[in-house]
Amino acid sequence: MSKKSKFPPELDFIRAGRLPQKKSNESMEGKICVITGTTSGVGYQAAIRLAKAGAKIVMIVRNKEKAENLCAEIKTLSSYQPDYYIADFADLSQVKTATESILKNYPHIDVLINNAGVHMTRRKLTVDGHETAFAVNHLAAFLITSLLLKRMVESSPSRIIQVNSEGHRFKGLKIDDLNWEKRRYGGYRGYGASKTAQLMTVWELSDLLQNTGVTINAMHPGAVKSNIGTNNGKMYNFFSRFFIQPTLKNPVISGDAIYYLASSPEMNDVSGKFFNLTNEEIPAPHATNREIGKEIFQLSKKLVNLDNENVYEV
Ligand SMILES: NC(=O)c1ccc[n+]([C@@H]2O[C@H](COP(=O)([O-])OP(=O)(O)OC[C@H]3O[C@@H](n4cnc5c(N)ncnc54)[C@H](OP(=O)(O)O)[C@@H]3O)[C@@H](O)[C@H]2O)c1
């Protein structure tokens, strides 16, 4: 799929970023799509696009009021009643409870899109004692994916999409210091660590899901306008408003790309890949280290308390 690039893997985003976007016009009629973080930005656009294509949207979000507003909007676009489940991803017990409710209520799931994410400029630990970006961007998504794995297999053909980021290129993942106790925390590297961990587990899950009819891929949703980073205070927001936001694109492109990855027949058998919007891209070499990837996979199982569960026997 990926053509020979004149760029080294570190810079493959330049090649992939110049390619035209692929399109889909597949119906998603009645398909159950579980999406996290639909209350703004990328996730909002993905939910709207998939609802317009006929999907039933099941959201996991933290804000009830925003969820109600989005449900009202989706009802004007789709004949399927959207549903939402509340969970703060900085609290893994809430993520587990919401996912277990989804398992109880949906015997069939066609698409899982792990999108919710955060960028922190300061180190802050969650109630579970994890660095927040790592917990929200990686561990929560890992927990949801793991708990839904068997259901995705029972529902196959089905697809899992991890909304990742070119930010994985910032590096930052140190297996013996996931909580930044031995190093000074940096927002970009903290973000990079979480996205690298997520990518590494995509390769592992893709292998695990081989021959099950379930695909798992990761994508960068573009550099688009959203609320990301707005939790970081006035200075950040001032800088972002004048220097970052004007350079960003409309997040409609992210929704369109996620819809393509979720629906296109061209993606039927594609798994274990990283996409820049709709185009396959070579991830940064540090994120393809399978040895560390296996370690991070085992560690993630432990950190979400699933190391003794049989959820991975698919
Ligand atoms: N925007 C970009 O240019 C860009 C580039 C690369 C990757 N991404 C990735 O795209 C994904 C979506 O980000 P975005 O840019 O659309 O940002 P956003 O507008 O801030 O949306 C993030 C979503 O995640 C939810 N969320 C954040 N923290 C949460 C928590 N603790 N518990 C539950 N939900 C939480 C937010 O909920 P609330 O509405 O309640 O805050 C919101 O729905 C992220 O994974 C991000 O890393 C974005």
> What is the tens place of the pLDDT at every residue in 203-217?
999 999 999 999 999
Confidence category of residue 280, pLDDT binned at 50, 70, 90: very high
Mutation choice for ligand 1 from 226, 237, 261, 275, CB with most ligand atoms inside 8 A: 226
Domain ranges in the chain are 24-303
**140-154 and 187-208 are packed helices; what angle lies between their axes, rounded to 10 degrees?**
20
Q: What's residue 4's pLDDT?
A: 64
Half-sphere exposure of 227 (CA within 13 A, CB side): 11
Distance from the CA of 37 to the center of ligand 1, in angstroms?
6
- Asked if residue 240 has pLDDT above 60, the reply is yes
Residue 44: its H or E element: helix 41-52
Mean of per-residue pLDDT scores for the chain? 97
- Cβ of 190 below 6 Å from ligand 1: no
pTM equals 0.97
* pLDDT tens figures, 155-212: 999 999 999 999 999 999 999 999 999 999 999 999 999 999 999 999 999 999 999 9
- Tokens 């070499």 correspond to 285
pLDDT at 262 over 80: yes
Instruction: Tell me: pLDDT of 282 over 60.
Output: yes
Q: Would you say residue 149 has pLDDT above 90?
A: yes
% of the chain exceeding 90 in pLDDT = 96
309 pLDDT higher than 90: no
Output the CA 268–ligand 1 centroid distance in Å. Answer: 27
Q: What are phi and psi of 233, to 5 degrees?
A: 95, 175
126 lines ligand 1 (CB under 6 A): no
What is the average pLDDT across 15-20? 96
Is residue 224 within 8 A of residue 114, CB to CB? The reply is no
Binned at pLDDT 50, 70 and 90, residue 308 comes out as confident
pLDDT tens figures, 52-72:
999 999 999 999 999 999 999
Average pLDDT rounded to a whole number, residues 246-266: 98
Nearest CA, atom 4, ligand 1? 223
Identify the CA nearest to 46 among candidates 215, 247, 260, 216.
Answer: 260
What's the CATH number for 24-303? Answer: 3.40.50.720
Residues with active-site annotation: 191
Lowest mean pLDDT: which of 68-72, 134-138, 236-240, 287-291? 236-240
Q: How big is the chain by its Cα radius of gyration, in Å? A: 18
**Measured CA distances, 227 to 20, 174, 183, 231 (Å):** 26, 28, 28, 8
Q: And the tokens for 21?
A: 């976007």
Give SS3 for 35.
Answer: strand
Q: Residue 81 is encoded by which pair of tokens?
A: 């009643």
Which of 35, 36, 38, 39, when mutated, tests ligand 1's pocket best, judged by the most ligand atoms within 8 Å of its CB?
Answer: 39
Could you give the C-alpha distances from 151 to 104, 214, 281, 306, in angstroms and in order? 10, 10, 29, 16
Q: Percent of the chain scored above 70 by pLDDT?
A: 98
Provide the residue type at 138 as one letter: H
Q: Which of 228, 165, 249 is nearest to 199 (CA)?
A: 165
284 close to 9: Cβ distance less than 8 angstroms: yes
Instruction: Report which DSSP code applies to 61.
Output: E
Query: In angstroms, rounded to a whole number, what is the distance separating the alpha carbons of residues 259 and 262?
Result: 5
Best mutation site among 48, 62, 120 for ligand 1, i.e. most ligand atoms within 8 A of its Cβ? Answer: 62
Residue 1 pLDDT grade (very low, low, confident, very high; cuts 50, 70, 90)? very low
Of ligand 1's listed atoms, the one at least distance from the Cα of 40 is 19
> Rounded to the nearest whole angstrom, what is the distance from the C-alpha of residue 310 to the centroid of ligand 1?
30
Q: Which residues of 238-272 are buried (b: 16+ CB within 10 A; e: fewer)?
A: eebeeeeeeeeeebebbbbbbbbbbbbeebeebbb
Give the pLDDT of residue 7: 84
**Count of beta carbons in the 10 Å neighbourhood of residue 69:** 12
- Alpha-carbon distance of 229 to 87, in angstroms, equals 19
Burial of 52 (0-12, 13-18, 19+ CB in 10 A): middle
Task: Give exposure, 180-214, as e/b (b: 16+ Cβ within 10 Å).
Answer: beeeebbbebbbbbbbbbbbbbbbbbbebbeebeb
Work out which ligand 1 atom sits closest to the CA atom of 230.
20
Measured CA to CA, the distance from residue 292 to residue 295 in angstroms comes to 5
